């Protein structure tokens, strides 16, 4: 499989989603400290489920936000939906394959899933960054009887400077996760919006904790620094 070509195609798909303004329905809004998070959805063209769009403002520069979201080593410290997030294969400085295992959610109605995802970083004009992901087959990590193997169709984060305050960033996230297993679509539709809001809130708290004096500090050294030997 040409992982790099697939990664580039996925980034383009995520960019296309961001430019698609038709058919979205707002399914949840949340306001915290006068900052609104909006979750919208529309039918996915990839599977029998929804494509979700999540928008929020993060009080951090785009470069640092992208670095924070792209690095795997801190992910489980702030992303409470995951119990494992490991890079298992490096393709180049912008592209890697990761193995994730989720927590159960919906009060245990949805058991943990595992995913093998191709993750890719790309910077565009205007300091806009896209971090895209798409599930792939990776022979070194075949499905296990311990978990249902889920599938992420083209997903990603788009980070860009907030026009009225470039020191802050607009984060737009696209998610279309096929949970698989024996799940009622109504359970997923009822729980996914709240989980997506929680992700944004956890990301805000996580990046704040990393840069606070009480935390370990935030030392930005470029999005791909963790991949270099």
pLDDT one digit per residue (tens) for the chain, 229 residues: 899 999 999 999 999 999 999 999 999 999 976 689 999 999 999 999 999 999 999 999 999 999 999 988 878 889 989 999 999 999 999 999 999 999 988 777 789 999 999 999 999 999 999 999 999 999 999 999 999 999 999 999 999 999 999 999 999 999 999 999 888 888 889 899 999 999 999 999 898 887 766 555 444 444 443 333 2
Distance, CA of 46 to chain centre: 18
Instruction: Report pLDDT for 229.
Output: 28
DSSP type of residue 50: E
Name the nearest CA neighbour of 60 among 72, 51, 69, 47. Answer: 69
Name the nearest CA neighbour of 59 among 216, 200, 213, 217. Answer: 200
- Do 50 and 192 contact (CB within 8 A), yes or no? yes
Phi-psi region of 80 (alpha: psi -120 to 50; beta: other; left: phi over 0): alpha
């Amino acid at each position: 499989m040409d992982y790099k070509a697939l990664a580039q195609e996925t980034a383009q798909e995520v960019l296309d989603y961001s430019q698609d303004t038709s058919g979205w329905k707002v399914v949840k809004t949340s306001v915290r400290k006068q900052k609104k998070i909006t979750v919208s959805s529309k039918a996915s063209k990839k599977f029998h489920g929804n494509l979700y769009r999540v928008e929020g403002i993060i009080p951090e520069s785009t470069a640092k936000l992208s670095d924070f979201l792209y690095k795997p080593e801190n992910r489980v410290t702030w992303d409470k939906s995951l119990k494992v997030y490991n890079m298992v294969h490096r393709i180049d400085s912008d592209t890697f394959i990761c193995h994730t295992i989720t927590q159960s959610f919906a009060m245990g109605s949805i058991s943990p899933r595992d995913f093998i995802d191709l993750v890719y970083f790309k910077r565009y004009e205007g300091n806009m960054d896209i971090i895209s992901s798409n599930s792939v087959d990776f022979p070194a990590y075949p499905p296990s009887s311990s978990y249902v193997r889920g599938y992420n169709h083209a997903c990603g984060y788009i980070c860009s400077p907030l026009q009225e305050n470039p020191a802050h960033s607009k984060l737009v996230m696209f998610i279309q996760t096929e949970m698989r297993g024996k799940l009622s679509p109504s359970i997923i539709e009822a729980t996914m919006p709240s989980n997506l809001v929680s992700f944004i809130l956890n990301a805000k708290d996580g990046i704040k904790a990393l840069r606070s004096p009480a935390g370990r500090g935030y030392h930005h050294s470029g999005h791909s620094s963790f991949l270099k030997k």
